[in-house]
Structure 1
């Protein structure tokens, strides 16, 4: 297998280390030929099942020739179809791991040792380093551009654990800009949010392994209504990647039965910092007015008129 190129390089990106097949496909989509994009998009939309079928079946469903499939997987860094399928099988096992499965697979004492705190901290720090190193800057900048466009309406949604990250991001964004919503409540009430989505809507959805079907269905419906999707996920990629304009993949494995969102949280804080820096001339007045209103509500004193220069 070839070595991975830099995320900023212009050539095809080969699979390497813990970079998943799906993540690699997403990064190099723009560099594939129109014929190669057919199996790529088919695989992302039915991941990883289609890639586990016989070569003839994959080619027939993608409506391309056998050699086209082989050229496509060669651009991903595989020497043959068997190696490609072996990688997909390994990923399938990893992406479906439950806390119980992780404990049995990793040993009786996940993360055991003399200094678990140090081990865990080092693993979390390494997740941040790997996530940043493998993040295509075009994905980060593209997401930042969507956040910075004030005419866009932003919706944030997460899963059982990742909704805490969505909520954190929402709390910051609503200070920095208007038209920001946190999709909350039971899934049956989510339809009230998707009802108003259109081409000026941006859905930022957080979904990591043991991916949630309700999140996938919500993203499907949002995409149908023209919303642009930003997916924040792990390196195996949620099925929502099939609809996503930008995919921000982070590393989540630590010496624990549970996955970590430390790298994901770091990425969100970096986006917040970048948005703040880019728009500070406009934000300064907005934040000053917010602080003025907060002082009023906390003190109970009458709200003083805004200074003439701010009106």
Structure 2
């Protein structure tokens, strides 16, 4: 997908305003494929001039050329095959199919090189603290619940009792989940961890999130909407991918099928 490659190539040279357009393109390319520049600008709350400037900044002659590239890229994507695509689908199944489509789309926008770096960082780390506030706490709790079976010295930060970090040095890692609306407490902890020299992994929904500047590794999980219900399945799928790679590196693939641990004999 050329539009994603061009956006990534020029991203660090863009102004904050142009980066806002870039993040919208990554999260919701259908918007750019189906609407004229004026309407796209209105939806993402920037000026039409800003949208056109963005197109030129990443190497296109104008909005029309970018739109054509996005349209061709979307048409080339092969959606998951369905055995019952001609049959009527009930509402519960359709919701799961939408989750599947969102995961499929997000998988093409995630920087998997960063994911590999995160896996290596966690495997090497002497300790790992996992942080999440508000709805991000559910991701942090679930990731901790599984990660502590794979890695020693893994802890879940408890906002109601914990007051900060004590470990110093880059051999200690802090993972912070931070999704819109970004909790100020998470940003404060990221700053504190940075001051202690810890390695910081940020899992967020936008490169423009205010916590991203503190991350040594920033894994951005884009979704078309800010809905928690949309982000959840995508996030858990990405975390699954991280956990399975960690299990492979640590030689604990038996963890993938832990039936013997839970079945009562």
Question: Given the two structures, how large is their TM-score scaled by the length of structure 2?
Answer: 0.63
The match for 2:180 is: 209
- In the TM superposition, what whole-angstrom CA distance separates every residue of 1:147-186 from its partner, at most 9, and x where no partner exists? 111x431010112112111111111111111111100132
- State the Cα deviation string for residues 43-72 of structure 1 (Å, max 9, x = none): xxxxxxxx99xxxxxxxxxxxxxxxxxx99
- State the shift of 1:278 in Å: 1.9
Structure 1 gaps, min length 5? 25-50, 53-70, 84-113, 300-311
Contact 1:204 1:230 in 2 (8 A): yes
* CA distance 1:257–1:161, change in 2 (3 Å): closer
Which of residues 17, 20, 23 is equivalent to 2:23?
20
- CA shift for structure 1 position 126: 2.7
CA drift of 1:143 comes to: 0.3
Is 1:143 aligned to 2:146, yes or no?
no
In the TM superposition, residue 75 of structure 1 has moved relative to its aligned partner by 5.2
Secondary structure class of the residue paired with 1:231: strand
**1:266 positional shift:** 0.6
Q: 1:265 to 1:142 in 2, by over 3 A?
A: same
Q: Which moved more, 1:236-245 or 1:203-212?
A: 236-245
- Alpha-carbon distance between aligned partners in 1 of 2:25 and 2:208, rounded to the nearest angstrom: 6
1:156 to 111, 116, 130: 130
* Deviation of the 1:260 alpha carbon: 2.9
1:121 to 93, 96, 113: 96
> In the TM superposition, what are the counterparts of 1:161-310 in structure 2 within 5 Å?
161-186=135-160, 189-191=161-163, 193-235=164-206, 237-253=208-224, 259-280=230-251, 283=252
How far apart are 1:227 and its partner, in Å?
Answer: 1.1
Distance 1:73-1:190 versus aligned 2 partners, 3 A rule: farther
Larger Rg: 1
Do 2:132 and 2:178's aligned partners in 1 also have CA atoms closer than 8 Å? Answer: yes
Output the aligned Cα RMSD: 4.3
Local SS of the residue matching 2:211: helix
- Evaluate the alpha carbon distance shift between residue 3 and residue 223 of structure 1 in structure 2; reply closer, same or farther with a 3 A threshold: same
Indicate conservation of the 8 Å contact 2:4/2:26, yes or no.
no
Query: 2:134, 2:106 → 1: CA distance?
Result: 22
Classify 1:256/1:270 alpha carbon distance in 2 versus 1 (closer, same or farther; 3 Å): closer
Report deviation, 1:196.
Answer: 2.4
Aligned residues: 208
Q: Secondary structure at the match of 1:194?
A: coil
- Do the aligned partners of residues 21 and 217 (structure 1) sit closer, same or farther apart at CA in structure 2, a change above 3 Å counting? farther
5+ residue gaps in structure 2?
A: 28-45, 48-52, 64-88
Between the aligned partners of 2:25 and 2:189, the Cα distance in structure 1 is: 21
Q: Distance in 2 between matches of 1:154 and 1:255?
A: 28
TM-score by length of 1: 0.54
